[in-house]
Structure 1
Amino acid sequence: MANLTAAQVEADVDLLMGCLGANHREIPSAASLSKRSSILPLFAAVLSVLSTIIFYVSYYKDDASIAGFLNFFASEGWYLVAITAGIGLFVFLMTYNNQLTYLCLPSNLRNESLIISHIGKIVRKSVIIFCSLMILSSLLSGVSVWFALAVPALLLMLFVITSILVSAEINRLGAGLALEKISNLIKKI
């Protein structure tokens, strides 16, 4: 992001506030919010199942079979998927709230706003990096079970680090107070 002046940030915040105050808010459907919020947790759950399969095949090389995998999964393999599902539920609920705030802004405003587009770029880069690490960990789970356990840990780290980065950028831009007002306005709705 290029250097911005305080006047540009203030004008962008005024644009956001004006749009929300002028009854141009969009009310996203619960289905669209759920769909957008469940993408990463479902992706991590699929990678956990894949990690379990890769670990089973590498550990039981000669004796690997579908029936053997189902037995392994029923006895101890489900732990990893259950951990990922628990963390995924937490991430889903927190992401649902974030998506609600984001999708209340009209789509043309989301594209025009310097602050929102900059935050979107940060979130996209974080998601790409952490999803790549989750895929790599899943593929390496045949080497060690610790790589399989890295998938739910990376999902949780993605949420925490993205939240920290977004908060830091909002504060760096000096838009924290205005975005807090926007958030409070949306909560009142």
Structure 2
Amino acid sequence: MSQFTKAEIDADMAMLTDKIASGGTVIASSSDLLKKSFFIPALSILLSLVNTWTFYYINSLRYKYAYSEGYVEFLTSDGLFVLIPTVIIGLLFSIMTYNNLLIYLTIPDDVRKKSLILGHLEKIVFRTVVFFLGLMILSVILSGFISWFAFGIPALEFALFLVLNMIVGMEINRLGAGLALEKISNLIKKI
């Protein structure tokens, strides 16, 4: 965790407020927002497909019935119990991410790079996402041996959604930047 002084936080918030109030905001393209907000859910669906394939393949080797049509049949029957929650949680995740990215991407790129607070929050988000993606890959590997790990992808996707929002909120409060970021958010919404 980074340590900042109150003066650094105040200077950073003043810089962010001045840059945004000066009209230097950027309107992000909807295609860019959609790509970024659906990245984790799309990756989760892909990992969920690999997860069901691993479960099917390992179990089919035990009973000697591995064939590609069997996987499709398994996927459309029992595999849906893993895919449907992944898709539903992914849609919720992408909607919330879309709103957060909409606010984040309206801040010009050079301002984001200069900002201590936004840089710190970006590092925290990146580390959290990488940690949960590692757990998802571990769940894919273990699902071939223990069937309950097949539900690890939707569970970890939901946990990532909750933990990410909780950690970002806690860091904003820790830095004392909550009120200032709310003012910036309201200013961006008016623009």
Q: What is the TM-score of this pair, normalised by structure 1?
A: 0.97
The amino acid of 2:122's aligned partner reads G
Q: Specify every segment of 5 or more residues in structure 2 that has no aligned partner in the other structure, as ranges.
A: none
Q: Which residue does 2:42 correspond to in 1?
A: 42
Q: Which residue does 1:12 correspond to in 2?
A: 12
The amino acid of 1:181's aligned partner reads K
Q: What is the TM-score of this pair, normalised by structure 2?
A: 0.96
Alignment of 1:30-179 (within 5 A): 30-61=30-61, 62-179=64-181
1:67 positional shift: 1.2
Percent of aligned pairs with the same amino acid? 44
1:2 positional shift: 4.2
Quote the RMSD (CA, aligned, Å): 1.0
Structure 2 Cα separation of the partners of residues 38 and 182 of structure 1: 25
**C-alpha deviations, 1:48-97, integer Å up to 9, x for none?**
00011111112222111111111111222122111101100000000001
The amino acid of 1:118's aligned partner reads H
Q: Specify every segment of 5 or more residues in structure 1 that has no aligned partner in the other structure, as ranges.
A: none
Match of 1:182 among 177, 181, 184: 184
1:145 positional shift: 2.0
Structure 1 Cα separation of the partners of residues 2 and 67 of structure 2: 56
Number of residue equivalences: 189
Structure 2 Cα separation of the partners of residues 90 and 3 of structure 1: 33
Structure 2 Cα separation of the partners of residues 75 and 37 of structure 1: 29
